[in-house]
Amino acid sequence: MSARRRTDRDWRRRRLGQNFLDPATADQIVDQAGFAPGELVIEVGAGTGALTRALVRRALRVVAIEPDPHWAQRLREQMANSRVTNNLVHVVASDFLAITLPREPFRIVGSLPFGRTTDILRHLLDDPATTLRRADVIVQWEVALKRAAMPPATLLSTTWAPWWEIHLARRIPATSFRPVPRVDAGLLTITRRDPPLLPVAMARQYASFVQHEWPFDGRKESRAARRG
């Protein structure tokens, strides 16, 4: 392989946060997520397809989103070679943030790029009127602790709390990824509250209220610091 191609690969890995989950851990995560056959699952950051293959083995309808065209094409080829029927998996080469969320009930699974975790969670959770039922997502360990804190420790978590419950399901060691990142990860399980604590129609009003009035544990941090 040429130095040029190695440079391109390394550049994509750094830009897209490519640390790929090992198949054994992926299978455990999907097994513990309690899927029902036929559910629609959107996978965020399919990468080498460890989670994709585990989902398909359980007869789920999978839309695998992968921003790197190289890995998206490789995953398509893997699915074709494994004789997966077209109605079980669809690989999309795209940034997840550019995806319109489905109108029918769906679930989310994915190993989120550590540098884009907040943007992706906001895409999923800011609007409680979506049809998202549950998300099982891998994030950086410190982020997992912050998001699962009770009571909510940040403005964003407080904004989501009337409609979503966020639990820390497990710690995932850095050695479960290739290449190995510098920090461990955590698996967050996000479920829709039923019933919600507030009507969905109040989401925008409530978010505005929290942004302007939410006390930050009595401390004097700036509002900019509260937004995480």
Task: Give residue for tokens 């009930």.
Answer: 105
Domains of the chain, each with CATH number or no CATH: 17-226 (3.40.50.150)
Decide: 92 and 99 in contact? Cβ < 8 Å. yes
pLDDT digit string (tens) for 42-96? Answer: 999 999 999 999 999 999 999 999 999 999 999 999 988 886 666 689 999 999 9
Whole-number pLDDT of residue 80: 86
**In 3D, which of 2, 23, 12, 8 has the Cα closest to residue 176?**
23
Q: What count of other Cβ atoms lies within 10 Å of the Cβ of residue 38?
A: 10
Report mean pLDDT in 10-residue bins for the chain, 228 residues.
Answer: 51 62 97 95 96 94 96 93 77 96 97 94 97 98 97 93 98 96 97 97 94 60 46
CA distances from 148 to 91, 164, 181, 188 (A): 30, 11, 22, 8
Whole-number pLDDT of residue 107: 98
Alpha helices in 127-168 (DSSP H): 141-148, 155-160
Decide: 86 and 59 in contact? Cβ < 8 Å. no
Whole-number pLDDT of residue 220: 36
Query: Order of strands across the sheet with 40-44?
Result: 89-93, 61-66, 40-44, 106-111, 132-140, 185-192, 164-172
